[in-house]
Structure 1
Amino acid sequence: MLNQRTLPRIGLGTFRLKDQDVIDSVTSALSLGYRHIDTAQFYDNERAVGEALKQSDVPRDEIFLTTKVWWDRLQPQALLESFEESCRKLGVEYVDLALVHWPSPDDEVPMAGYIGALNQAREKGLTREIGVSNFTVAQLDQALSVPGGEHLITNQIEVHPFLANRTVVAHCQEKGLQVTGYMPLAVGKVMDEPVLKEIGEAHGVSPAQIALAWVAARDIVVIPSSTKPEHQQSNLEAMAITLSADEMARIDALDRGERIANPDFAPEWDA
């Protein structure tokens, strides 16, 4: 339906990672075979991510690099300048995916303006693809309806066993957009969940791997964050786990609408 470029099934999230920590994390991930790196202006680590890319032997054209513009820079000119700044910090000529990190609070900046500018960034070659993050069903429909919106390929949203986010996931998939799920491990909370532990024991893997397998089985790209090579490796291996219909249903039942990323400027979420 849309001009959709396939996102790698798993990527490395870099939220909360700074300086040498993020350099080491990205370096390790690339050496293990990750080819999707997710950062953002708000993370204040683009320069360090760029340093890791520069040091890596992996060719630039084999890496899918995502960054995001913060909601205070959504005015069209500011948005374009912010992505130019991101490319400079990352040390690249372009990113593979540029996202609007959050919709404009209270629609202070008209959506037609910033989605149009996002598409201008694509047309100028600052990014290969464009998308949004943390958009509700209504906001997504509005974004798709304005000029430039037809080029959106993804909505990056919070998804983990305690927040299945079914309404938005189903709507994105119905519209032909790839869903990218952040915080798929619920900042580590999945490790203490008895159901995930039990299913993990049956497969000989960790609860975290089961959580990732569950998200991936829903055709959602996962971008877990990890600084430890052994965890990065196990996250990669989770993509090969096949869960039974009964196991999927048991994990489905863990959904309790537990939202972790919910700042005061967030939109009114879908149920």
Structure 2
Amino acid sequence: MRTPPPRVLTVAGSDSGGGAGIQADLKTMLALGTHGMSVLTAVTAQNSLGVQGAWELPAEAVRQQFRSVIEDIGAQAVKTGMLAGAELVETVADLLDGLTAPVVVDPVGVSKHGDPLLAPEALEVVRTALLPKATVATPNLDEVAQLTGVRAETEAELPRAAEAVLAHGPRWVLIKGGHLKDGDTAVDLLTDGTAEHWLRAPRHDNRHTHGTGCTLAAAIAALLAKGASVPEAARGAKEYVTGAIAAGFALGDGIGPVDHGWCLGGDRR
């Protein structure tokens, strides 16, 4: 019998348009050679134009999904995304207690279109309960500001942003600098407070970038499940998401998704 591939569990919301959330995570995990599993936290009505509605699942539904997977199948890495409200954040943080697998926390606060995906009252629970469970936290610059009050606008300010996030307890933080205005390079900073790893890639002139944050965090989780170190996983995920952005395509009337299958070959025109 075939040996099963590494198993990765995503705990996140559904994107009905298929570009972000659970859908993006599972596509990424498949593309990178792992078996993706899911705990659904919320359902969104979402398309290329934005989020038209969002509904949280009950905490007990989230708890039962998680236990069903972990107690029978197990996971070699876990990724968290949209958790919506304070009760769900606290529930997921409790479920992660005692887990030996690495945890990637994407502290999703707003959608690509600026729609809120995290209740204001949940921020403190993210800071105090969820971030301390993270092997790697992957906030973008808006999420850094939301969580810490630190607003980074240049590459030189990324270490200060990372320090502010690390103060809340994750072992590593990857500050995503895609929103920086300076330069033609997309630069991210990965650090544990001691070592700094600067990840650089060319910026692609493509507006269809829906799902980049979910995709990057899911890719890190997949590569950690395959045995990579945190710096190795971050570098591999950066390469994967850069290719996915370059291949992003129009879908609907707004911002289309990145192409999660860009590396799988075949005619994808």
Measured against the shorter chain, the TM-score band is 0.3 to 0.5
Q: Where is the strand percentage greater, Structure 1 or Structure 2?
A: 2
Q: Where is the helix percentage greater, Structure 1 or Structure 2?
A: 1
- Which structure's CA Rg is the greater one? 1
